[in-house]
Amino acid sequence: MALAAAPALTIGGAPRVNLLPRAVTERRQRAGLLRKWVLGLVAALGVVLVATGGAYALQLAAQQRLDQANADTVTLIGQVAALQPVNAKLKLESELGDYRTQAMGTDLAWATLVSSVESALPADTVLAGFTLVPGGNPVGDDPALEVGAAGELTITSTTPTQIVDIVRALRTVPGVLSVDGWESTTDTIGYSYLLRIVFDQSAYTGAYAEEVAQ
């Protein structure tokens, strides 16, 4: 009976022998390393190009937005410049309105004042002259509390009249704040009485105030 052959024990592979010269091997290694460096450099250059392109695109977009903003600013400046004449006209109109308010706000109702004084005078006395100066512009809601006009009245009479009677009569005139006898004289024509009188702001016409309210 034949015995089976024992299996052969193999350790490691078939032996390999590098027969290339050492210079060739080193040259190949250097070539492989150079290829790796070239690939790395190309990859880095690609990253730089991509980053540069992105930065340029952002800069271009920002420049376009800046140009648009500058164009809008120029347009707005032009529009504002075009409105300057209108603003100047409105300012002038406002100033003229304020001036008119100051000038017309103290306009006195002369005819009403004169007729109210004449109607209150005692018999045989005449309003011969007057000097009235308007007060300030209305500032409150009640015109009866503010001085509207103040000045002097000259009353004449052909017969003697007590100045006290004239003062008392004029104090009943609506809108009169105060009346005081100041001076009385006599001449060949008759008797003359000088009085000081103060009216409240109901003496104003109020015409301009009514126009503004409308």
Structure confidence by residue, pLDDT tens digits, 140-149: 778 778 888 8
Q: Is residue 5 part of a domain?
A: no
Type of residue found at 164 = V
Which has more confidence, 146 or 18? 146
Residues 114 and 100 in one domain: no
pLDDT of residue 101: 58
Can you tell me the distance from the alpha carbon of 198 to that of 176, in angstroms, rounded to the nearest whole number?
6
Q: Which of 76, 104, 132 is the last residue before a domain boundary?
A: 104
Highest mean pLDDT among 83-97, 123-137, 144-158, 166-180: 166-180
Q: How many domains does the chain have?
A: 2
Residues 115 and 183 in one domain: yes
Which has more confidence, 192 or 6? 192
Residues 122 and 206 in one domain: yes
Give the phi and the psi of residue 140 in degrees, each rounded to 5: -110, 180
Write out the DSSP string of the chain.
Answer: -PPPPPPPP--SSS-----S-HHHHHHHHHHHHHHHHHHHHHHHHHHHHHHHHHHHHHHHHHHHHHHHHHHHHHHHHHHHHHHHHHHHHHHHHHHHHHHHHHHHTT-B-HHHHHHHHHHHSPTTEEEEEEEEEE-PPP-SS-GGGSEEEEEEEEEEESS---HHHHHHHHTTSTTEEEEEEEEEEE-SS-EEEEEEEEEEGGGB--HHHHHHH-
Q: Is residue 95 part of a domain?
A: yes
Residues 148 and 192 in one domain: yes
CATH code of the domain in which 120 resides:
3.30.70
**145: its two tokens:** 């509390």
* Sign for the pseudo-dihedral over CA of 207, 208, 213, 214: positive
Q: 92-131 pLDDT, tens per residue?
A: 676 666 556 555 667 788 888 999 999 999 988 999 999 9
- Kindly tell me if the per-residue pLDDT of 1 is higher than 60: no
Q: Which of 78, 104, 130 is the last residue before a domain boundary?
A: 104
Residues 162 and 135 in one domain: yes
**170: its two tokens:** 């004029």
Q: Is residue 152 part of a domain?
A: yes
Q: Is the separation of the CB atoms in 169 and 111 below 8 Å?
A: no
- Kindly tell me if the per-residue pLDDT of 163 is higher than 50: yes
Q: Is residue 114 part of a domain?
A: yes
Q: 45-55 pLDDT, tens per residue?
A: 888 888 888 88
Percent of the chain residues past pLDDT 90, beyond the cut: 23
Residues 137 and 178 in one domain: yes
Residues 88 and 36 in one domain: yes
pLDDT of residue 25: 73
Q: Which of 104, 138, 154 is the last residue before a domain boundary?
A: 104
The parent domain of residue 116 ranges over: 110-213
